[in-house]
Amino acid sequence: MRASLIQIDVDPGESVNSRRERAGSLVREQRGSDLVVLPELWTTGAFAYELFGDEAEKLDGPTARAMSEAARDAGVWLHAGSVPERGEDGVLYNTSLVFSPDGALAHSYRKIHRFGFDKGEAVLMGAGDRLVTVPLPELTLGLATCYDLRFPELFRGLVDAGAQAFVIPAGWPERRRAHWTLLARARAVENQAYVLACGTAGTHAGVEQAGRSVVVDPWGEVLAEAGAGEEVLVVDLAPGKVAETRATFPALRDRVL
């Protein structure tokens, strides 16, 4: 199973429309992959709070339509990262969108843990309240977004729901790059699952992004890691490795709590 992670540069000098078109082209270039992943809030930037309201869209908005077409043209499962969603209740959410190869919106996930403590996303957006798994033909994905990475109980919940690989779009800051890599590997090791963690490149709203998208296997080995700039990681996964790791080193079976 081949996965492509698109670590797109969120440059405030580029319009959202231009970046949306560029993201579509990058997805189309991944024809031949089974799964393509984009990062968190790549239309606006995860820290460009003042744009969230202006760029918010419904689940059939301009980003969703562009990504649906790109998934269909490329014939891939597309985790299109997240968008600022304007919910039916009028509340903003940080919502990830997953499209099937025929372009249908198959799943969406509203970020559960909002970042910013008493400002930013934590006050501007509502929290999701639903775990989401995505059964692909080869692997079942569990969805999480950026700050969610710090909350291991979310990942245990996803494992209990059948997840064998976690897809984690992010806009992780360079200042805490060491946490990103460490936590991605920890979630893989403790859950004996693949981790596909896709960040953004560049600097927006004064926040330098770490980039360093990473793919980790169920044994905790880093299969591929990006640098700081715009880059596409293409990685071959071995879906059987999840069951093999869980059978030969059955730590998950020894859970008590």
Q: Show which residues are catalytic.
A: 40, 111, 146
Among 2, 107, 150, 177, binds ligand AKG (CB under 6 A): 150
Q: Give the N- to C-terminal CA distance of the chain in Å, as an integer.
A: 33
Question: Which positions from 89 to 128 touch ligand AKG by CB under 6 A, shown as an x/- string?
Answer: --------------------------x-------------
Q: Kindly tell me which of 74 and 170 has the beta carbon lying closer to ligand AKG.
A: 170
Judged by CB under 6 A, the stretch of 1-9, 70-78, 128-136, 144-152 that binds ligand AKG is 144-152
* Interaction between residue 74 and ligand AKG (CB under 6 A): no
The partner residues of 109 in beta bridges, in order of sequence, read: 96
User: Footprint of ligand AKG on residues 44-73 (CB under 6 A)?
Assistant: 46
Minimum CB–partner distance for residue 9 and ligand AKG (Å): 17
Q: Cα 173 from chain centroid?
A: 15
d(CA 251, CA 257): 13
Q: From residue 237, how far is each of 61, 141, 170 by CA, in Å?
A: 32, 13, 21
Task: Classify residue 12 by its DSSP letter.
Answer: T
**Sole window of 54-62, 76-84, 131-139, 142-150 interacting with ligand AKG (rule: CB under 6 A):** 142-150
Nearer Cβ to ligand AKG (28/150): 150
- Name the minimum Å distance from CB 115 to ligand AKG: 3
Q: Pairing between strand 165-169 and 140-143?
A: parallel
* SS3 at position 240: helix
Q: Applying CB under 6 A, which of residues 171, 199, 211, 218 lies at the interface with ligand AKG?
A: 171
What are the residues whose beta carbons fall under 8 Å from the beta carbon of 14, sequence distance 6 or more? 22
The site for ligand AKG, by CB under 6 A, has a size of 10
H or E segment to which residue 27 belongs: helix 16-28
Supply the minimum distance, in Å, between the C-beta of residue 150 and ligand AKG. Answer: 5
In one-letter notation, the amino acid at residue 129 is D
- The whole-angstrom separation of Cα 99 and Cα 36 is 10
Q: Is 147 in the site for ligand AKG (CB under 6 A)?
A: yes
Which residue's CB is nearer to ligand AKG, number 42 or number 99?
42
Q: Rule CB under 6 A: is residue 199 a binding residue for ligand AKG?
A: no
Residue 9 neighbours by CB under 8 Å, 6+ apart: 200, 201, 202, 229, 230
d(CA 244, CA 192): 10
Where do contacts with ligand AKG occur on this chain (CB under 6 A)? 46, 115, 146-147, 150, 171-173, 176, 179
